[in-house]
Amino acid sequence: MNSNAVIAIHGGAGTILRASMSSGAEAEYHAALHAVLSAGQRILADGGSALDAVSEAVRLLEDCPLFNAGRGAVYTAAGTHELDAAIMDGGTLEAGAICCVKRVRNPILAARRVLESSEHVLFTGEGAEAFAAAHGLEFVEPGYFHTEARHHQWLLARDRQRAMLDHDGATLAGASSTNDDDPAPHEPIDPNRKFGTVGAVALDRHGHVAAATSTGGVTNKQVGRVGDTPLIGAGCYADDATCAVSTTGSGEMFMRMVAAYDVAAQMAYRQVSLEEAAHDVVMNRLPRIDGRGGLIAVDARGNVTLPFNTEGMYRGFARPGETPVTAIYR
């Protein structure tokens, strides 16, 4: 039995907008992170698997409208939602993922079903929804994913795209945050510079690691765009021999750097620690191509690291029997 069981989660990385932060909003984020960590912690304390802990944590994060996954997902350029998710079991190296789904309530549960019941790893769009339907997953009307805050954020991104190129983020965000019509003026992280993907990584008492990641993608993305999140090795990776990783950030750069797998590969080939490998990917390799964001990772010894190169990342970790630790800023 491994006594180092631990779960870590993230709710996305981004630029802090301190001017528009209220202590109430900050407390709400901490409470949401704390509740999700407590649920994951209970599963691990009861001897549950890392796979169960990460899928339940991400399911809860998807159901929470504060985060950009499931309910609360961002809008595409067509004013729709397209959701991506992936999950991987470090004990077996089995993986499942889905992308561009529009009506599956919990994309992470569909990804888990792909892992368990399919010879394939990744399904897209209609095929992914057909697979989910055939396996009895819950479907919702597209309106289920709508939140006023994300809709407003999309309208700003759509209408001010040109202006965004001409202004720095703080100016634009500052203007929007003082707008009386803004339904979400108190989000601690600048919604215009925020990556709200959610993810979880865990080590269970049996010594296995797992990772799960889920997202609505980036605001105003083109229809059919797929980011790093559902790609094994880019947004999600797990191998007992090295570590479990879930990422958040500018997906195109995380794809080009094969970011999640790179952490594991550096541990395997350079024989560096989890922390050193993760630090190198986030602080050295991603910035080379202007990759912004962060990741969470655990290894089979129970080490945890949560590096990010943005001003903040919603994050936390918990070990059975200990009080969960949550944080937003540096």
Q: Which of 15, 197, 213, 310 is catalytic?
A: 197
Instruction: List CB contacts of 23: < 8 A, sequence separation 6 or more.
Output: none
From the list 208, 172, 210, the residue with the least C-alpha distance to 191 is 172
Q: How many residues bind ligand ASP (CB under 6 A)?
A: 15
Least Cβ distance, residue 263 to ligand ASP (angstroms): 15
C-alpha span between 173 and 185 (Å, rounded): 9
Are 256 and 206 in contact, with CB atoms under 8 Å apart? no
Dihedrals phi, psi of 313, to nearest 5 degrees: -155, 125
Q: Which is nearer to ligand ASP, 115 or 218 (CB)?
A: 218
Question: Going by C-beta distance under 8 Å and a sequence separation of 6 or more, which residues neighbour residue 178?
Answer: 20, 185
Closest CB to ligand ASP among residues 68, 153: 68
Window 192-231: residues binding ligand ASP (CB under 6 A): 195-197, 215, 217-218, 227-229
3-state helix vs strand vs coil in the chain, percent to 5: 40, 25, 35
Q: Which residue is nearest to ligand ASP (CB)?
A: 251
CB of 74 to ligand ASP, least distance (A): 8
Q: Decide whether 249 or 316 has the Cβ nearer to ligand ASP.
A: 249
> 55: helix, coil or strand?
helix
* 197: annotated active-site residue: yes
Instruction: Please list every residue from 231 through 290 that binds ligand ASP, using CB under 6 A.
Output: 248-249, 251
The reply to whether 258 sits in an annotated binding site is: no
By CB under 6 A, tell whether 307 contacts ligand ASP: no
User: Between 2 and 124, whose beta carbon lies closer to ligand ASP?
Assistant: 124
Alpha-carbon Rg for the chain, nearest whole angstrom, is: 18
Among 41, 68, 176, 242, binds ligand ASP (CB under 6 A): 68
Residue 114: Cβ within 10 Å count: 26
Task: Confirm whether residue 11 is marked as ligand binding.
Answer: no
Tokens coding 159: 């209408």
Task: State which of residues 12, 40, 96, 312 lies at the interface with ligand ASP (CB under 6 A).
Answer: 12
**Torsions phi, psi of 15, nearest 5?**
-90, 130
Residues with a known catalytic role: 197
**Residues making contact with ligand ASP (CB under 6 A):** 12, 68, 195-197, 215, 217-218, 227-229, 248-249, 251, 293
Please state the residue numbers annotated as binding site: 225-228, 248-251
